[in-house]
Amino acid sequence: MLHAHRTHRHRYRLIPFLDAEDYRRYRLRKHLGLGGALVAVGLAWLLQAWGVIGTQGLWLAVPAILAWSGLVRLALDRSALSVVRALLRFALAAYLVVVIEDVGALSWSTTWPVLAIAAGIAIVVDALFARARTGDDERRGEEAAW
């Protein structure tokens, strides 16, 4: 059972596979991502209110948020899985820009199956990496027990 009086240094135990340093980086990544998202949405809304961009331009905040989260991930964690996740975010951001701006007659209605396939592949790959990580964690635990 969790106690209400736990200290900050023990919070990382809520995510069992993270140690204190990994938890610190995780929190920093989440805070930078959320802060960047709020800046992008606020800036887009302000530019739209001033008449600099149209209503459709508001949607460009979404790819900006994805690109920002990919940059944050690359800056704070350079593991192979993190780089792959960042590249997927960049690819999704580029896809959204193409769809929002209707580049080359590519629209949501003509390209959504590609996005569904890519999302399915990402879920399968993430599950395989998670399984590999779980096995590594179990092996580390066995080694520590010896």
pLDDT tens per residue across span 44-95: 999 999 999 888 888 888 999 999 999 998 998 878 888 888 998 999 999 9
- Kindly tell me if the per-residue pLDDT of 139 is higher than 90: no
With a cut of 60, say whether residue 33 has pLDDT above it. yes
The per-residue pLDDT of the chain, averaged, comes to 80
3-state secondary structure the chain: CCCCCCCHHHHHHHCCCCCHHHHHHHHHHHHHHHHHHHHHHHHHHHHHHCCCCCCHHHHHHHHHHHHHHHHHHHHHCCCHHHHHHHHHHHHHHHHHHHHHHCHHHCCHHHHHHHHHHHHHHHHHHHHHHHHHHHHHHHHHHHHHHC
The model's pTM = 0.67
